Structure 1
């Protein structure tokens, strides 16, 4: 199944109080063929943290770089790895990940 996702770049700025604020700048949209999804859980400092991983195939393009975010159905997935020319020329397999607490 193909899904349309919004590609975003995280932009950090310093607040007036000296803290950091993160906003997301839209870079466009990408069509993704979603693959397998996996989930693992662990406890950190008394909190349960779940990490979801998702594989997706799309057309290769220069905007697809590790660290950017793909928003699918209102959920933000960080691009962890871009594997170019997989599964074929002109395509890329993305390893996406999101953490929930």
Structure 2
């Protein structure tokens, strides 16, 4: 599933419900074009629990709104931005590592 994608950039906002739980809502920040890499699956163990996650590396134009913790929504999936790094070989471009739990 590599190729160019138009993705919606979202900021997750957590609020406490009257019952004491957590509600997450997404605030739209805009749209970005991505050059998506291939999806990879791997296992991650947190607190003794092993979960399957998907990872993907994407390339896009530099955008100050694109930071770790934000969400990119494309192809019907929500991907969390894990890391963003400047592409030293291509000024004005960045690479971002994304994760999602299938």
| Shared fold per TM-score greater than 0.5 | yes
Q: Which residue of 2 aligns with 1:72?
A: 74
The alpha carbon displacement at 1:41 in A equals: 3.5
**TM-score under structure 2 length normalisation:** 0.86
Q: Which residue of 1 aligns with 2:91?
A: 89
Per-residue CA distance 1:54-98 (angstroms, 9 max, x = gap): 010000010000000000111000000001135510000010000
Q: Which residue of 2 aligns with 1:60?
A: 62
Aligned length: 100
Which structure has greater strand proportion?
1
| Pair 50,35 (structure 1): closer, same or farther in 2 beyond 3 Å | same
Deviates more, 1:7-16 or 1:48-57: 48-57
Q: Which residue of 1 aligns with 2:6?
A: 4
Which ranges of structure 1 fall in alignment gaps of 5 or more residues?
none
Q: Which residue of 1 aligns with 2:53?
A: 51
Which ranges of structure 2 fall in alignment gaps of 5 or more residues?
none
**TM-score under structure 1 length normalisation:** 0.87
CA RMSD of aligned residues (A): 2.1
Runs (4 or more) in structure 1 with deviation over 2 Å come to 41-45
The alpha carbon displacement at 1:36 in A equals: 2.8
Q: Is the 8 A contact 1:87 1:93 kept in 2?
A: no
In 1, distance between residues paired with 2:95 and 2:8? 16
